[in-house]
Amino acid sequence: MTAAPLDTSFPKLELHMHLEGAAPPAFIAGLAREKSIDISGIFDGHGNYRFRDFDDFLKVYEAACTTLQSPEDFYRLTLAVLEQSAKHGVIYTESFISPDFCGGADLVAWRAYLAAIEEAADEAERRFGIMMKGIVTCVRHFGADQAKKAAHCAAETAGNFVVGFGMGGAETMGRTADFAYSFDMAREAGLHLTSHAGEWGGAEMVRETLHHLKVSRLGHGFQCIDDPDVLQEVIEKGIVLELCPGSNVALNAVPSWETHPIEKLRAAGAKITVSSDDPPFFLSDMTYEFTQLAKVFGWGETQFAQVQDIAVQAAFCDEDTRATLAKRIAA
């Protein structure tokens, strides 16, 4: 290995990162100034995002998104985010991109935004050596009808860049079964599937999500540990958990790093990966996540190599890309 796991240059894969959620606060504040939008209330005295709890986090997130109004804004956002990720050794990132924040889930608008995001991703790959793929995401608390529009955008633009479909937002709102139509549409278009579940909704939400949405990965999903039957199902089906411990601690989904079940899940045989979710909101990045895992759970090269291997296998990319990634992390 060329770098130790805790070096920023250690090559990493990240499967769970929201593009707007990764927006550096200074970038969003700059856009707000350019457009004379007053969102000063979402920042603290240090210029970081400020929120009280998960509901407030979603409000601050959406307020930040009001500054992102054009494909050009998303071009700049994508470049800024990927430059940040590359500084922490990320060589491959699957980023959630949301048609709802890109022209209101209108297909014609979405195509223009997506083209700008892709162009920036190509530029970032040339300049920073990081590859990005997109997972088109619906927002659960916007409702099932709006989700269908996002799924339609995903299905119409599925291909080399858009490789997956997923769902974020407030997990405890709405009925999971109501979103099955959208996930079916995406699956029929050849997209891989993931959904946030088991961060707030308990093990039962994990069970429902696997049953109704038939996803191969779960965003977070760690609450499966609270029900032995659900945990067993996750392990037997080889469901991959996109764990983001720093996010869970910052949002109080778990009380502390020490009580996060990531190591218990790994030891139980669940397929776990590590991501940073919305890094600047949680004052996190991939180096920080890895450093905490080493400090709190004693992870070393074996555990980091294991999660990286799982991430390579679970990535929604094509097989040629997977082979390239496997070589890069083994180099």
Residue 226 C-beta: closest distance to Zn ion, Å? 20
Residue 64 C-beta: closest distance to Zn ion, Å? 15
Catalytic residue among 14, 94, 171, 199: 199
Q: Is there a contact between 64 and 23 (Cβ–Cβ < 8 Å)?
A: yes
In terms of DSSP H, where are the helices of 88-143?
Answer: 107-128
In terms of DSSP H, where are the helices of 129-200?
Answer: 144-156, 180-188
Contacts 24+ apart (CB under 8 A), 254-263: 254/222, 257/292, 257/296, 258/296, 260/222, 260/296, 261/222, 261/225, 262/222, 262/293, 262/297, 263/297, 263/299
**Smaller CB separation from Zn ion, 99 or 219:** 219
**Smaller CB separation from Zn ion, 9 or 172:** 172
Residue 97 C-beta: closest distance to Zn ion, Å? 13
Tokens of 223: 């609450």
Q: Is residue 125 flagged as an active site residue?
A: no
Residue 168 C-beta: closest distance to Zn ion, Å? 5
- Any idea what DSSP says for residue 203? H
Query: What does the binding site for Zn ion look like in residue numbers (CB under 5 A)?
Result: 219, 277
- What does the alpha-carbon distance between residue 158 and residue 175 come to, in Å, rounded to a whole number? 26
- What does the alpha-carbon distance between residue 172 and residue 180 come to, in Å, rounded to a whole number? 16
**Smaller CB separation from Zn ion, 43 or 282:** 282
- The DSSP element (H or E) to which 306 belongs, if any, is helix 301-314
**Smaller CB separation from Zn ion, 14 or 277:** 277
Tokens of 146: 């709006």
Tokens of 300: 């070393």
Closest residue to Zn ion, judged by C-beta, is 277
**Smaller CB separation from Zn ion, 5 or 94:** 94
Residue 277 C-beta: closest distance to Zn ion, Å? 5
Tokens of 136: 């088109």
Q: Which residues belong to the active site?
A: 199
